[in-house]
Amino acid sequence: MPIVPYQHGGGQVPLQSFLPSVSSTSPASDILPTYTPAYITQIPNHPPSFAPDASTRSSIDIVIDHSSQQQSFEQAPKSSLVSADESVDESSIQMKGRKPAIAAVGTLLSLATVSQIYQHALFPNITPISERAEERSWVASSHSWLDRKACNWFGLCGLSHLSRLGWTSSENHKEQKTALAGDVKGEEKVDLGEFWKDASAVTNPDDWPDDERRAREVPQYVLDYAPLIHLYSGEEFWPCDIAEHLIHTTPHLNYTPLQATSDHPNLTNLDDLNRWGRSVYLQSDDNVEDRPKWLGGETNIPNAPDDSDLESNWPEYDDLVEADPPKDKDGKVPSWWNVGLGDTSDRGGVRPPPGAHTTPVPVPVGTSEGEEVVPRPGEDWQPELGRRKLGKKVVGGRSDAPAVLVLVEKDNGVVDAFWFFFYSYNLGNKVFNVRFGNHVGDWEHTVVRFQHGKPKAVFFSEHSFGEAYTYDALEKVGKRPVGYSATGTHAMYAIPGTHPYVLPGGILHDETDRGPLWDPLLNLYSYTYDYKTDRLLSSNLTPQAPIGWFYFGGHWGDKFYPLNDPRQYRFVGQYHYVNGPLGPRYKNLGRKEICQGNDECLLKHGLGPKRIRRLKRFPEVGEGEEMTEADVRRFFGPEQEAKPAES
């Protein structure tokens, strides 16, 4: 393109840019700047055939203002000098630069929303008043500011404690504090029978008045229909003796020891601790994460009977047919179903406790537990114990851990036989490989209800409450109903297998199988109990049995650990370690229906496969079983009642 010089010493510009446009509709250039119009002084008649020298070359004079040209270039935006694609790229870069800030703001808003929902909606609904009263001090026990804030704002407490590194003691401190001969399997055991003798008791039934003899008598039919319990084959924590449990624990008022570790209460005077109020806990002398020998009760595994038969003849549950609901000849509910006055609410019943009360009386809350990862059902600990032939005689083994029988007489010829089983440790279950619901001490029970000497129904305690069955529906060995104890949690079930609860999809479940068969008749202490007068008597079978332990109003294990304890964490109301349980006295012994809870009691009439898949829901969560406020007022005075935490 021809180039012409500026007439005033300026640079050269393309000639075509200054010629008149061929088309009047052509758009103005967006790229080239606009200049002052040019004045044409001379135009040749035809293009030259050679390149003329400067003296003869025709030119176009262009008036140019250098200062305005320079200013125009300086003021022109840079974007006007790049292509459209480059403009889009720059916009994308700017948007990408804003994305992290937008994401950060969105995350903060989401966290703030979740925090508000937890603090104002979820936390008040899942946290009982007794726990809220301690919430501030419990959270404040953590030494980490971040941990305290995560706990208060989101309910995620002790995240750093998920690592097991700080749970166990150093090698120099792992030795069991109070070692007894026989804690290790194979050693000769200490005879704990002496601990079960009350020196002040009148031990000869012949010396009892007639009415007392009758009140203490255990009818033969109660023994004839005593349950047999299959423990889990892969169990880690077997039945234990409460007498030995007292040797390895020290009473604490919350977290403060009440006496020296060498000064242990016994089964006769344990109720003396009630003078300290309701917040007494039997705290383990050992770190339970070190798994001291006494905690597992390995020496109490039921032995194999000498006459055990290795053949198997167990029923197939798919073949069982549900029976019709029990009805009398007029089609009415049988008289044994709902009997008596009911126990007082302070002991888990429905009847108001003595005295005037201005506030509602809650019922006892079962300890919340989680899911367990269990061995496969086929991996029996001792296979011969899982292969019994049904029929003829008692085929269960004896455990060195005694069972406790409490007999409660009610109206209409009804008698409830409560069989209590104690374990020194409850291993909670896991949810997504995180364990919840561990606690020291564990009371489980089975109830057989009789009317006029005939068995009518059986109840198995499961977590918060449990399930009831007609006697005819259950598996039996001869006349004796068979129950199953779940691994770790020791929840009671009517059949072996997997038992989901609370969460869908079997995420949370118990596991039972035909492990060692325990016959509680071979080692038991028995009592009779008048729930109307709250009077416990040792029975004619074990007249020397002490009764003080029954009236103990505290917890049979540690208080839930503070947040600064590396073994403790809590996620949305569920603790790794919860309170030890209350004793048998607070299990609603005077219940009108056979179920432990006071809500609707469902009596099952069969053991079909649907029973296995049914999802059971237990709403209670929190730090563990607590005494009712009515019980607190009755036994410890109003000053011991839990007060709501200050806002």
Residue 358: pLDDT band with limits 50, 70, 90? very low
> Do 69 and 209 fall within a single domain?
no
Residue 172: pLDDT band with limits 50, 70, 90? low
Determine the pLDDT at residue 454. 96
Whether 238 has a pLDDT exceeding 90, the answer reads yes
Q: What is the mean pLDDT of residues 49-73?
A: 46
* Residue 116, in any domain of the structure: no
Total Cβ atoms within 10 A of residue 161? 22
Which residue among 55, 77, 99 closes a domain? 77
Tell me which amino acid residue 4 is: V
Determine the pLDDT at residue 433. 85
* Residue 111, in any domain of the structure: no
Pairwise CA distance, residues 603 & 456, whole Å: 11
DSSP label of 223: H
For the segment 366-402, what is each residue's pLDDT rounded down to a tens digit? 433 322 223 333 333 344 344 344 333 446 899 999 9
pTM as predicted: 0.70
Higher pLDDT, residue 261 or 570: 570
Pairwise CA distance, residues 85 & 91, whole Å: 10
**C-alpha 75: how far from its chain's center?**
71
For the segment 95-136, what is each residue's pLDDT rounded down to a tens digit? 666 777 777 777 777 777 777 776 767 666 666 666 777 888
* Residue 91, in any domain of the structure: no
Higher pLDDT, residue 227 or 129: 227
Whether 408 has a pLDDT exceeding 80, the answer reads yes
* Residue 506, in any domain of the structure: yes
Q: What is the mean pLDDT of residues 556-579?
A: 91
DSSP string computed for 457-520: EEEEEETTEEEEEEGGGS-EETTEEEEEEPTTT--EESSSEEEEBSSGGGSSEEEE-S-PEE-G
Which residue among 77, 100, 124 closes a domain? 77
In this structure, of 269-278, 329-338, 541-550, the range with the lowest mean pLDDT score is 329-338
For the segment 501-511, what is each residue's pLDDT rounded down to a tens digit? 766 666 788 89
Determine the pLDDT at residue 87. 58
* Residue 110, in any domain of the structure: no
For the segment 40-52, what is each residue's pLDDT rounded down to a tens digit? 444 444 444 434 4
Q: What are the residues whose beta carbons fall under 8 Å from the beta carbon of 514, sequence distance 6 or more?
A: 230, 233, 314, 380, 386, 484, 496
> Do 62 and 183 fall within a single domain?
no
> Do 413 and 538 fall within a single domain?
yes
Determine the pLDDT at residue 192. 83
Determine the pLDDT at residue 85. 57
Higher pLDDT, residue 549 or 627: 549
> Do 65 and 170 fall within a single domain?
no
The DSSP H or E segment spanning 630 is helix 629-636
Determine the pLDDT at residue 120. 66
Contact 243, 264 (CB under 8 A): no
Q: How far is CA 5 from CA 16, 20, 42, 62, in A?
A: 13, 19, 14, 9
> Do 70 and 192 fall within a single domain?
no
Determine the pLDDT at residue 305. 64
> Do 73 and 182 fall within a single domain?
no
Where in the sequence is the domain holding 46, given as residue range(s)? 1-77
Sequence-ordered alpha helix ranges (H) in 199-285: 210-216, 220-224, 242-247
Determine the pLDDT at residue 584. 95
Higher pLDDT, residue 524 or 61: 524
> Do 471 and 348 fall within a single domain?
yes
Determine the pLDDT at residue 251. 96
Determine the pLDDT at residue 639. 61
* Residue 103, in any domain of the structure: no
Place of tokens 């199953």: 484
Pairwise CA distance, residues 505 & 503, whole Å: 7
Determine the pLDDT at residue 94. 66
- Most confident listed range (69-83, 320-334, 591-605): 591-605
Number of structural domains found in the chain:
2
* Residue 409, in any domain of the structure: yes
Determine the pLDDT at residue 363. 53
> Do 60 and 190 fall within a single domain?
no
Whether 443 has a pLDDT exceeding 90, the answer reads yes
Determine the pLDDT at residue 617. 42
> Do 59 and 169 fall within a single domain?
no
How much is the mean pLDDT over the chain? 75
> Do 170 and 66 fall within a single domain?
no
Which residue among 77, 103, 133 closes a domain? 77
Determine the pLDDT at residue 638. 64
* Residue 268, in any domain of the structure: yes
Pairwise CA distance, residues 543 & 205, whole Å: 7
Q: What is the mean pLDDT of residues 317-333?
A: 48
Total Cβ atoms within 10 A of residue 355? 8
> Do 65 and 201 fall within a single domain?
no
Q: What is the mean pLDDT of residues 625-644?
A: 63
- Most confident listed range (115-124, 459-468, 614-623): 459-468
Q: What are the residues whose beta carbons fall under 8 Å from the beta carbon of 407, sequence distance 6 or more?
A: 218, 222, 415, 416, 417, 418, 526, 527, 528, 529, 539
> Do 442 and 582 fall within a single domain?
yes
